[in-house]
Amino acid sequence: MDLTRRDFLELGAGGLAAAAFPAQEARKAATKFQVACMTLPYSAFPLQRALEGIKAAGYSFVAWGTSHKEEGGKSAPVMAADAAPAKAKELGKRCRDLGLEPLMMFSGIYPEAKDGLEVLTRRLEQASAAGVPQVLTFGHTKGGNRALWVERFRALGPRARDLGVLLVVKQHGGETGTGEACAAIVREVADEGVKVNFDAGNVMDYLNVDPIPDLAKCADTVRSFCIKDHRNFPKDEDCGPGFGEIDHYKLLHAVASTGLPMPLCCENISAPLLPRPPAPEGVDALARRAREFLETVIAGLQK
């Protein structure tokens, strides 16, 4: 390839590499972003209403939250920690019968908890039975026992791989408040069954750290996102994507060419400064807005 000096200066190092090796550049595959809504924003309403609302809001993917107020106002877990795998399989079928593919479930326990290893193992078994590809865990906001995390993740990694499930750990303040910190643990564990989930809203909320440069330090380990935005003004609060101060074009650009499936699970869809909707139809509207925003960002990045 014949390049003039001006061509060289205009291309720069990155552009020169692309010009010299066009086939190699073309091999970068687009990430398969999967936009899901968690049932969590519907926690004040029954699980069935959450699933129906998420489907009506145009989603094809869902992530299981933690608990819902069922008929009579009593709170019930989406999936109890001690539930048999068959119970999780039933819920997976229930989602698919509605046209929703489940992508993620909460572990509901800190990795350093006394029974953390046992509960996380059961969660992996539940997820496998249900065909849910990822189990989400995170640490205490005041920090945890890093050495114990590494020990337990090394034990859980092979089991996760055997079951065809990925254990992902996200930022939640304390010693694991950044993606960089979570990635350091995952790299020390060095098992393909354990990866990072990135929660940009938590990074900004708990530590007031800009999530964009933080993501650059861990992007190679990220396999999913908990989607929430955050504002520091006029009120310090989490909110739905596009309502806050996080640039989602920059956020998703960092992982736009992995060639991998990448769940984007909307955990917070609320509007800043406004109260939570008193009726599920209000949550439906926020869920639809979040989906449309993310789909617009993805379409622009992958054009």
pLDDT digits (tens, 9 = 90+) for 189-246: 999 999 999 999 999 999 999 999 999 999 999 999 999 999 999 999 999 999 999 9
**Residue-level pLDDT at 259:** 97
* Residue 168 three-state SS: strand
- Which CATH number among 3.40.50.1370, 3.20.20.150, 3.40.50.300, 2.40.37.10 corresponds to the domain 29-301? 3.20.20.150
**Cβ atoms < 10 Å from Cβ of 278:** 9
* Residue 39 three-state SS: coil
Alpha carbon of 14 to those of 1, 27, 35: distances in Å? 16, 15, 31
pLDDT digits (tens, 9 = 90+) for 263-300: 999 999 999 999 999 999 999 999 999 999 999 999 99
**Residues whose CB is less than 8 angstroms from the CB of residue 132 and which lie 6 or more positions away in sequence, other chains included:** 64, 88, 92, 102, 103, 104, 105, 126, 165
What residues pair up with 136 in beta bridges, in sequence order? 106, 168
Which of 210, 188, 190, 189 has the alpha carbon at shortest distance from 200? 210
Query: What is d(CA 40, CA 226) in angstroms, rounded to the nearest whole number?
Result: 11
**Residue-level pLDDT at 25:** 42
Q: What percent of the chain has pLDDT over 90?
A: 87
Are the C-beta atoms of 231 and 111 separated by less than 8 Å?
A: no
Alpha carbon of 256 to those of 122, 153, 259: distances in Å? 32, 27, 8
Q: Which residue has the tokens 């564990």?
A: 189
Q: What is the pTM of this model?
A: 0.90
Q: Which residue has the tokens 């029954």?
A: 46
User: 3-state SS string over 204-268?
Assistant: HHHHCCCHHHHHHCCHHHEEEEEECEEECCCCCEEECCCCCCCCHHHHHHCCCCCCCEEEEEECC
Tell me: pLDDT of 133 over 70.
yes
Q: Which residue has the tokens 């990448």?
A: 262
DSSP symbol at 102: E
Q: Which two tokens stand for residue 65?
A: 């939250």
Which parts of the chain are beta strand (E)? 32-38, 61-64, 67-69, 75-77, 101-106, 134-138, 166-170, 194-198, 222-227, 229-231, 237-239, 261-266
**Residue-level pLDDT at 4:** 40
Are the C-beta atoms of 79 and 88 separated by less than 8 Å?
A: yes
**Residue-level pLDDT at 142:** 85
**Cβ atoms < 10 Å from Cβ of 190:** 11
What residues pair up with 169 in beta bridges, in sequence order? 137, 196
